[in-house]
Amino acid sequence: MNEIDPRAIVASNARIGPGTRVAAFAFVGEGVELGEDCVLEPHAVVRGPARIGRKNIFDSFCSVGGDPQDLKFSGESTKLEIGDGNRFREFSTVSRGTTQGGGVTRIGSHNLFMAYSHVAHDCVVGSHTVFANGATLAGHVVVDDYANVGAFSPVHQFCRVGRYAYIGACTVITQDVPPFSRVVTERETHCYGVNTVGLERRGFDRERLSAIESAFRLLLRSKLNTSQALEQIRAQLNGSPDIRELVEFIESAERGLHK
């Protein structure tokens, strides 16, 4: 037996496998085949034609099986194929294929698509992959098994991501990513000083700001390394609670410090 909330919308020709639960306000469209033990949380949307395997979880407000985002698409019948044990988190999106691209978007099994991730038309995704928040595939991309696509990383159309590859967060992919590799955009993140305007808005007076600015000059503008700068900050400015907080924060840093 499956469990379909009376407030859900399920197309008359949709096929719902045994043990599948469709929650209130979820939508199952025309031509959708859902395998057994799937879960559609409230407001999840699954459109067809789509053939979907067992034990897939569709979280609230995901949209899976929608029309391809391609200006050439004019309503042709294309489809989506999904394996078993995948999870589509909130606001993730997956498009069906296009006739020009073969007509099918394919996703394997045991993948995690985090919030706001996107799989475009005609993509082929293997199994055991992870798409972090905001990871985005353009059309016709191939992602092989066990690959990880980092948060807010777009992959250009027709690119391939090899098995076990790792794409770091905020990395723009415009060429193929070799299997077993780690690809990360170089980051030049710097601390540029005190958040003066923000602190003023929070009621910091000129005396407090002056002490903080002096500490940051020693930390960022002098030729001292961090340990030497902390010694000078303690010696010159340690009477201020704000300075003690800054020093304690830096001393307890386990991942280094943006400077």
Q: Which residues are catalytic?
A: 121-122, 139
Give 61's DSSP letter: T
Contacts of 195 (CB under 8 A, 6+ apart): none
**Residue 133: CB atoms within 10 Å:** 17
Residue among 197, 194, 201 at smallest CA distance from 242: 194
Distances 180 to 77, 87, 123, 132, 195 between C-alpha atoms, Å: 37, 24, 20, 18, 41
C-beta of residue 94 within 8 angstroms of C-beta of residue 119? yes
Greatest distance between any 2 Cα atoms in the chain:
77
231/211 Cα distance (integer angstroms): 15
